[in-house]
Amino acid sequence: MLEAIPVLSLITWIPLAGALLMILLPTRNARALRWVAGLFTAVPLVLAIWLYAEYKPAIGGRPYEEAYTWLTVPLSRAGAEGIASLELAFDYLMGVDGLSLPLTLLTGIVSMMALLASVHIRKRWKTFYVLFLLLQTGMYGVFLTRDVVWFFIFFELTLIPAFFLIGIWGLEGREKAANRFLVYNGVGSALMLLAFLMLVATAGFTATPGAGGDALRFSGSYDVLLANLSGSGSQSMLASDPIFQLSDGMRWAAFVLLVIAFGIKLPMFPFHTWMLRVHAEAPPSIVMVHAGVLLKMGAYGLIRFAAQLFPAELREAADVLAVLGVVGILYGAVLAFVQKEFRLLLAYSSVSHMGIVLLGVASLNDVGLTGAVFQAVSHGLIAALLFLIVGSLYERTGTTRIDELGGLAKSVPFMSGILLTAGLANLGLPGLSGFVGEFLSFLGLFESMKVLTVFGVLGVLLSAAYMLRGVMSITFGPQSPRYDGIKEARFVEALPMVALVALIVLLGVYPSLLTGPMQPSFDPLVEAFKSGVGG
Amino acid sequence: MATVFAAYAWLVPALPLAAFALLTAFGRSLRTTGAWVAILASLGSLALALLIAGERLAGAEDYSQSFNWLAFGTATLSVGIDVTNLTSLMMVVVTVVGFLVNVYSYGYMRDDERMTVFYAYVSLFLASMLGLVLADNLLMLYIFWELVGVCSFLLIGFWYHKPEARDAAKKAFIVTRVGDLGLLIAVLLLFWYMPGHALDFTSIGNVFGNDGGAISAGITTLIALLIFLGAVGKSGQFPLHVWLPDAMEGPTPISALIHAATMVAAGVFLVARTFVIFEASPAAMATVAAIGAFTAIFAATIALAQNDIKRVLAYSTVSQLGYMMLGLGVGSVVAGMFHLFTHAFFKALLFLAAGSVIHAVHTQDIREMGGLGSRMKTTAWTFGIGALALAGIPPLAGFWSKDAILAAALERNPLLFVVGAVTAFLTALYMSRLFYMVFAGKPKDDSHAHAHESPAVMTAPLVVLAALSVIAGFVETPWYGWFGEWLTGEAAHHAGYLAMIVATAAGLLGLYLGWLIWQKGTIDRKALAARMPGLVRVLERKYYIDEFYDLVFVRSLRRLGYVLRAIDGLVVDGAVRLVAVTAQAVGRLNTRMQSGQLQGYLLAAVFSVVILVLAVAGRRLW
Amino acid sequence: MFGLNLDITGELAAFFILAVCAITGAVMALNLTRVIHSVLSLAFTFISLAGLYVLLGAEFAAFVQVLVYVGAVTILMIFGIMMTRHDHESQERQRPLTEALAGIGCLALFGILFFTIRGTDFPAPAGALPEDNVGELGRLIFSGFAIPFELMSVLLTVAFVGAVMLARREEDDLP
Amino acid sequence: MTLLGSYLTLAAVLFCLGLYGVLTKRNAIVVLLSLELMLNAVNLNLIAFSKYGMIPSLTGHVFTLFTISVAAAEAAVGVAILIVFYRRRVTVNVDEFDELRR
């Protein structure tokens, strides 16, 4: 039944439709706006869940794929022999596989939770919800498109709403944070675009042999890129032409550009500073989306493009990535340990946890890759939960500084309990989802780089140290009389908290729920790592 | 005999887990009902555990069952349960103590408004501990290993408003996590070295049992030592023992359940469970024995100088756990597990009795106590039985198990035997000190004069445990090796009467000396302390190990953090800012060039055109 | 192409005379200090160009050239001069650097153009223009180029209105 | 052999002279005049090509006419702007034309 409707397009574009509808609604009626935003967030979520349930790992995402040609531009034949026609095509390709499916679901869940958490937004609701829905379209699109041109468009589409959402509704230092965000990510996007252009121009063709030579068609199709780069693409007499072969240097350049572009988003160790400000200054519901989904676009991009298109290069560079990952883990953890501001602590914790994703990618085996994706999803949920509580606490106490808070378990036992659970999940307690991702990443990396893994595992210890320090300083200890009267979570806040905790527990206890669909998608990649041939 | 009840073994942890879920969901509206839910759940577990044990006593087959937890292309991680004699023994120990503690807590925690939370945590702990015991593979064991750790953490910090409790909980979690890392790395190593990535104990037994042919000796030793590191953390062995005494900030029933009888013994259980790996590596065995022996004597000396009733017992626990490790290290699983078995009863008894005392006098400082024996008869009597059992006085349970360890040590290494004997002496000494200072003499404080016996719901578990402390030892005596045979299939060897005589002598000597010092006053303890002020201070400060750790690890980590923070701000972020500043400078320069005068712009345009044309088509001009 | 073996035809001679006139006028327009002189010498150039147009068989263009440039533009400029003061022209600051740079730029551009022209081999025209090219031009403008032509008239009207609006002296527009 | 090259060269000379004037002259009127000169150079090219080009055609003439018309419009508007500017600043010096910067 799901195959009959263009479900991927629906998931992607329904939020946009909601945004357009919302523009028409009167600004005054906050309630109606909230309900409309909720509806247009819920429908893609329901579709995503449905898709997840229907998805058959053995078949893959083929039944749901969509492909339309949007625009073709004929190019002059440039005098080459054996070419019947030459055209540049802009396609609209949507597809899903075991890698994008969990992240799509994550997007839906986190968006819904963030929407519920957005009750804290006190000004300009309409603009907020319009931008929020736009952001959703961008995020879904990033995960669901199979065309690099569209990927870039969606990637940028997440950037602009996020910029305004941070810059308008953030806390004190919001403008600076938004600027940082835009500049860094702009640089990342530019590098990504450059890499994509290189790839499309050299490896983005399909050749159809015919009378009078081949009909060449250039497009941004990911599958075409994948096939051509791995040497199993369409055979044309031109395929052997040096123009259509990425030289080693070019391959490396594209690979490094992609790694840096997505490394900034992830964020990878030396490129992390932008994200601290965003975590500290953005409004809580946006940080939920940011830490929960936007950072995961970096992980997704790394695996989708850097790893799948360039497995040979990744194999060469795995050591470097693993070292960067371990450095990120330890560096983030040590810095988190000395932070006085809980939001910054969480920001550094994200740096540390994204280092684990990098480890999983660098491990070059299915265990590690599963771990990386699992970690991405799990950290998405945990970070969303943590920032949800941080937002609620901030609304009540006006501060999230560790030294100013304390003993909140007395007045807000429920929220403290959730915070403690989230903290424990974040430090990788087994039984909660954080552990599975960490464990699998370490397990994967351990195969090839044992000593490095041991250093990475030290990060687990440090994460316990800083997480407990942060969480326990807030909830344990004697309570300051200042916070005597603060109120327990309202229903609309408690609902997403409980839902997220339930998900975190569920994934921790029964991880196959998430890893099941992933496995077959990684098989060709792991094969490629083993054989060392591109693809 | 058929395995009837073993098939339901999964219910043993599931019952407390259900209680936990129930209490968490409806906790606030339940209160005493909640306590009953938890107690009944633990009773159910106890009954089932006993049924399973009974079935096994009748000689049932081992039972195991497992499911895929996570599957990859190359390997599968599974979860499952494994019912063997060893696990069913542990199950009985855990459920007995758990049930009794649950009953006891009903009296102890009666006035606490968060009683249901307490019971929820205890139920979760029981579920995790039983899961740990039943786990059929190392990964699942590790998962529950961490879960019991977190339950311990939650319960230590149960009185969250006390800063000491908060710090103790944090410390307990982090210090044990150091050990857990060892176990985690051991799991990683095993996963990649074991044929077929198998982590279940049966495969481990097969691989390492066949003289470890598949895995090199170095790796075997490494794995064994890493597993032992996990055990060291959990069982409070030197050098990771520091958390256990601090953990006494938790409610006393918790100290009895988690930090005396069950969780801390998990380290011993772990070593016993993976004993084949240790057997394959003589170096690892020697390390286990050495660390165990050292911890035993080291903690016993500290216990001598502590003034907090629970801390004395805590160091005693550390010491006794060292004893168990020593037993394992000298190659006798039976001795180690036997001591675990008996120790669980009498140490739980001691803690619960101490809790009864604390409940009555509202202090933990033994210098403020005294003369309680007349007012709290049951408590005093049961505590006395526990103390004698701990001191290894025949025919109480502690004597037999300690004797088994000493006998095994004598066989292996006389030095270890001597250390064990000295420890036995010290144990008797500090226990007599504790007993006399608390129960004998006159009340030091008027308020304590009105202390009265605890309610029956608290004393009844004491009596049951006291009875167990008396009789539990008879399952394994030099003349009757039934326990050892049941557990490992082979009778433990006993080295004759020498060990027995020495152990008894050491215990009696310790008691006598204690009587002389703290009861009769023949030896003036003030003068004794004045003779060795340095030693006393060192012992009181626990050899300054906490201070050392604080200096070396905590402070240096924080200092590293500050340095990195400066680097993060100045270098990493600074590089970015430098780029920004450069861009701004270029921009400013450009602004100056933008004079607003068209002619200037046009001139630039002309030059640009010229250059562009020359660049693009320059070659064609000539 | 510029070799001396060219036949001196009447066209050539006329071309040279008119070219020299045009260049002289242009150079003088740039060199003279008084604006009014510049305008007048440029008018001379325009007339020379009109002559060249005639030479090229574009009589109508030449006619329009004289009419518009010499008749209208030049007069407009003179009005412009008359409506503004130009008494400080003598104390103009010298800008040798700008002038040198502009000179280099222009020379370079000319060099490129010159070498391009010299290096290009122009094929001979494949036919000739019609004899009555004014009539032909009229037909062309009112058939094929009718729409641009109409647009042009709109443009001129707009420019005219715009110029009037801009230059109109408003009371509240005074400095 | 035609005179096309010569016409083009002449047009290039005039164009560059006009450009030089635009670039260096202060007086706005002279700048406008130089601009006209450049346009005339272009016109000359158009007409020369219309006669000597590969396919002689009257299109060049038509374009010339259009160019002249546009140039006239441009001159009219230019002078009008000039006068407005003069009213405000009492100068026609191009150096003072830095409104783009403000």
Give C19-67 pLDDT, tens digit per residue.
999 999 999 988 888 888 888 999 999 999 999 999 888 888 999 999 9
**Residue B175 contacts residue B243 (beta carbons within 8 Å):** yes
Please, which pLDDT band fits residue A111 given cuts at 50, 70 and 90?
very high
Q: Can you state the percent helix, strand and coil of chain C, rounding each to 5? A: 75, 0, 25
Q: Chains meeting D at 3+ CB pairs closer than 8 A?
A: B, C
- Could you check whether the bond before residue A63 is cis, i.e. omega within 30 degrees of 0? no
**Residue B217 contacts residue B180 (beta carbons within 8 Å):** no
Q: Measured between alpha carbons, how far is B412 from B509 in angstroms, rounded to an integer?
A: 25
**Residue B452 contacts residue B360 (beta carbons within 8 Å):** yes
Burial of D18 (0-12, 13-18, 19+ CB in 10 A): buried
Say whether pLDDT at A534 is over 70: no
Query: Smallest CA–CA separation between D95 and chain C, in Å?
Result: 10
> Best mutation site among D15, D16, D17, D23 for testing chain B: the one with the most B CBs within 10 Å?
D23
What is the CB neighbour count within 10 angstroms for residue A281?
23
Please, which pLDDT band fits residue A535 given cuts at 50, 70 and 90?
very low
**Residue C18 contacts residue C53 (beta carbons within 8 Å):** no
Say whether pLDDT at A154 is over 60: yes
Residue type, A305: F
Is B597–D19 a contact, with Cβ atoms under 8 angstroms apart? no
**Residue B215 contacts residue B152 (beta carbons within 8 Å):** no
Fold of the C10-85+131-173 domain: Four Helix Bundle (Hemerythrin (Met), subunit A) (1.20.120)
Compare B523 and D85 and report the one with higher pLDDT.
Answer: D85
Is B557–A365 a contact, with Cβ atoms under 8 angstroms apart? no
First to last CA, chain B: 105
| Region A473-498 average pLDDT | 82
Name beta bridge partners: B265.
Answer: none
How many residues in total does chain C contain? Answer: 175
Is chain A touching chain D, with at least 3 CB–CB pairs below 8 Å? Answer: no
Helix (H, G, I), strand (E, B) or coil at A208: strand
Q: Residue B619 has what pLDDT?
A: 72
Q: Measured between alpha carbons, how far is C90 from D31 in angstroms, rounded to an integer?
A: 17
Q: Which helix (H) or strand (E) holds A213?
A: strand A213-218
Is B597–D97 a contact, with Cβ atoms under 8 angstroms apart? yes
Q: Measured between alpha carbons, how far is A493 from B577 in angstroms, rounded to an integer?
A: 38
* Interface contacts B/D by beta carbons within 8 Å: 28
Is A442–B188 a contact, with Cβ atoms under 8 angstroms apart? yes
| Region A347-369 average pLDDT | 89
Which sign, positive or negative, has the C-alpha torsion B307, B309, B311, B313?
positive
Contacts of B18 by beta carbon, 8 Å cutoff, 6+ apart: B41
Q: Measured between alpha carbons, how far is B368 from B390 in angstroms, rounded to an integer?
A: 24
In order of B98, B403, B501, the CA distances from B507 in angstroms are 29, 11, 10
Instruction: Indicate the residue of C105, C116, C119 with minimum beta-carbon distance to B603.
Output: C105
Please, which pLDDT band fits residue A191 given cuts at 50, 70 and 90?
very high
Q: Residue A158 has what pLDDT?
A: 92
Q: Residue A41 has what pLDDT?
A: 92
Q: Measured between alpha carbons, how far is C42 from B277 in angstroms, rounded to an integer?
A: 106
Q: What is the DSSP string of A57-92?
A: TTTTTGGG-EEEEEEEEE---TT-TTEEEEEEEEEE
The ranges of chain B with pLDDT < 50 are none
A142-146, B554-558, C148-152: range with lowest mean pLDDT? B554-558
Q: Would you list the domain boundaries of chain A?
A: 2-531
Say whether pLDDT at C175 is over 50: no
Instruction: Indicate the residue of B594, B597, B602 with minimum beta-carbon distance to D22.
Output: B602
Q: Measured between alpha carbons, how far is B477 from B482 in angstroms, rounded to an integer?
A: 8
Q: Residue C82 has what pLDDT?
A: 84
Residues 553-612 of B with CB under 8 A from D: 594-599, 602-603, 606
Residues 5-24 of D with CB under 8 A from C: 5-10, 12-21, 23-24
Checking phi first, is residue A219 left (phi over 0); if not, alpha (psi -120 to 50) or beta? beta
Query: Smallest CA–CA separation between B592 and chain C, in Å?
Result: 16
Q: Residue B459 has what pLDDT?
A: 85
Contacts of B282 by beta carbon, 8 Å cutoff, 6+ apart: none
Pairing of strands A213-218, A66-74: unpaired
Q: How is residue A511 written in tokens?
A: 């991880």
* % of chain A with per-residue pLDDT over 90: 23
- Of A114, A108, A101, A190, the C-alpha closest to A143 is A101
Name beta bridge partners: A57.
Answer: none
- Of D77, D85, D78, the C-alpha closest to C158 is D77
Is C125–D20 a contact, with Cβ atoms under 8 angstroms apart? no
Burial of A311 (0-12, 13-18, 19+ CB in 10 A): buried
Contacts of A381 by beta carbon, 8 Å cutoff, 6+ apart: A106, A109, A110, A292, A433, A500, A503, A504, A507
Query: Smallest CA–CA separation between B575 and chain C, in Å?
Result: 39
Q: Residue C3 has what pLDDT?
A: 47
Q: Residue C50 has what pLDDT?
A: 93
Q: Residue A132 has what pLDDT?
A: 92
Q: How is residue A299 written in tokens?
A: 């992980």
Query: What value, to the nearest 5°, has the Cα angle with vertex A431 and ends A428 and A437?
Result: 45
Say whether pLDDT at A96 is over 70: yes
A137-146, B541-550, C98-107: range with lowest mean pLDDT? B541-550
Tell me, what's the ipTM?
Answer: 0.70
Domains of chain D (ranges, CATH numbers): 3-97 (1.10.287.3510)
| Region C94-99 average pLDDT | 78
- Measured between beta carbons, which residues in chain B are less than 8 angstroms from residue C115? 621-622
Q: Measured between alpha carbons, how far is A157 from A19 in angstroms, rounded to an integer?
A: 13
The rounded mean pLDDT for chain A is 85
Q: Residue C1 has what pLDDT?
A: 44
What is the CB neighbour count within 10 angstroms for residue C152?
17
Contacts of B535 by beta carbon, 8 Å cutoff, 6+ apart: none
Q: What is the DSSP string of A373-437?
A: HHHHHHHHHHHHHHHHHHHHHHHHHS--BTTT---TTTT-HHHHHHHHHHHHHHTT-TTSHHHHH
Chain B CB within 8 Å of residue D99 CB: yes
